[in-house]
Copies of this chain bind each other. A is one copy, B any other.
């Protein structure tokens, strides 16, 4: 992979002076077109060997273009804010919005490569990291991100020369540390691991672009030209006639039986029994969340359900037992402008809690495979790939020690009608019923199918759905409280083990 980059490439001063002003102008124009077009973000990854001109190139790009519309991020060792979230959180929060350019100076590739070079991680973990990165980058590309991955390379001889030169010059000697020389001794292993990494993570949509880094003028023109042509190609693209995205249909059950219909929605529970159970579970929840080990875990609770199924009421019974400083409620409605400029999971990633905290989502990322699917707000291929992306996302939460509980509150069609009518009658409940609720109700069967597919494709051993029979609110609330307590209890036990 480094054959070309190992050659001695040069560009003369004269040639550089001729081309640079034109390139610069064209890049600035492309940047402004990107801002006007506003349909996609550009994400530039800067990676490779030390001394190959990575930071110089980042500076140059900021110089050539308007730095106000470039978000440059380096990723030093994670802050405690970052350490307390899953590893990908820091990259999610830094993603550039549509219309902007983001430069990541080192990114998700850094840890797996260095970890493997220094033998801090084994082959299985390296493989898993590669697999996750391929899935993540595919998701970014599917979401429309123009992802450009530059790998700056130096041959062993060139790197040695470069480190020597930097050390000799008093103005730059500070840049060469003992660590650099230590890493230089690992050059061959670094190249071997990197090559394997680059090979496995180079895909058609996001190939690594290897840049020979020894000659400043050469690498500057190489990156500048490539960035320009990649942006122009995307900015100028015109729709073509192509076959639609090829996603096969999901299974339609030949009988009337499915996970929702299998539920006995009317569960008995008297008011008196409810109050007793509620008090007991709330006391339990209060104790659990005040356990010392709670500081080592975090909780994400997801509430989904039919309209009028009692999500709000159930959530209130949970929060009554919680210290207000401890939890954060996230009501999910239509995305804001800022959120629409990002991949759809971005607006949920931003709310992922630190250690010792709980976040309660009133509706969630499952909107993608429910309302967006049923209402045709996204293409079939988009919601089909979302099952996979969501499972991947939840896996990252769970792997980080986050307790994840997901509730589907189910009521019958008759019970919903009764509640809708009641809401219309009771003045202080009227805000809770809108024409949209009646519209959704007309698509009951389509929603039911979407819910069943959702459960089948995202209820996993590590993040199971809890289906809550909710015709009787008392029963539903107690089941929610108890399930949540059980999950936290298990999470605390794992944290203590």
Binding site for B on A (CB under 8 A): 1, 3-5, 7-11, 15, 19, 122-124, 127-128, 130-131, 134, 141, 146-148, 192, 195-196, 199-200, 202-207, 209-211, 218, 221-222, 225-226, 229-230, 233-234, 237-255, 257-259, 262, 381, 384-385, 387-388, 391, 452, 455-457, 459-461, 465
Contacts and interface: CB of A to CB of B under 8 A. Distances in A.
A155 to B, nearest CB: 13
B131 A127 contact: yes
Q: Which of A8, A127, A234 has the most CB of B within 10 A?
A: A127
A238 B241 CA distance: 9
A19 to B, nearest CB: 8
A253 B455 contact: no
Given A202-B388, A205-B247, 17 more contacts: A3-B465, A4-B253, A4-B258, A4-B455, A127-B128, A130-B131, A192-B461, A202-B387, A207-B250, A207-B457, A222-B252, A225-B254, A229-B249, A233-B248, A237-B243, A237-B244, A239-B241
A146 B248 CA distance: 8
A212 B157 CA distance: 62
A141 B237 CA distance: 25
Contacts of A257: 7-10
Nearest to A23: B254
B248 A207 contact: yes
Most buried by B among A385, A452, A457: A457
A248 B148 contact: yes
A206 to B, nearest CB: 8
Given A3-B259, A233-B248, A452-B4, A384 B207 contact: yes
Contacts of A226: 249, 251-252
A85 to B, nearest CB: 23
18 contacts: A3-B459, A4-B452, A9-B254, A10-B255, A19-B254, A131-B200, A146-B248, A195-B461, A203-B388, A206-B248, A207-B250, A210-B456, A226-B251, A229-B252, A239-B241, A240-B243, A241-B241, A242-B244
- The 7 residue pairs across chains A and B that have the minimum distance between CB atoms: A124-B124, A204-B385, A221-B254, A204-B384, A239-B241, A230-B248, A127-B127
A391 to B, nearest CB: 6
A279 B417 CA distance: 92
Nearest to A210: B456
A456 to B, nearest CB: 5
A11 B387 CA distance: 28
Contacts of A250: 207, 209
Contacts of A210: 251, 456
Nearest to A391: B199
Contacts of A1: 456-457, 459-460
Contact of A218 (B207, B249, B255): B255
A244 B240 contact: yes
A7 B251 contact: no
Contacts of A131: 127, 130-131, 134, 200
Nearest to A149: B248
Contact of A204 (B3, B141, B205, B381): B381
Given A127-B127, A241-B241, A222 B254 contact: yes
Contacts of A10: 255, 257
For A1, A3, A465, the residue with the greatest tally of chain B CB atoms inside 10 Å of its CB is: A3
B3 A254 contact: no
A206 B122 CA distance: 30
Given A4-B456, A11-B255, A459-B3, A204 B127 contact: no
Nearest to A144: B246
A229 B249 CA distance: 7
A103 B225 CA distance: 49
Contacts of A211: 251
A146 B10 CA distance: 49
A204 B373 CA distance: 14
Contacts of A242: 239-242, 244
Contacts of A262: 7
Considering residues A134, A141, A204, A257, which has the most beta carbons from chain B within 10 angstroms of its beta carbon?
A: A204
Contacts of A124: 122-124, 127
Contacts of A385: 203-204
A124 B276 CA distance: 50
Contact of A246 (B141, B388, B391, B459): B141
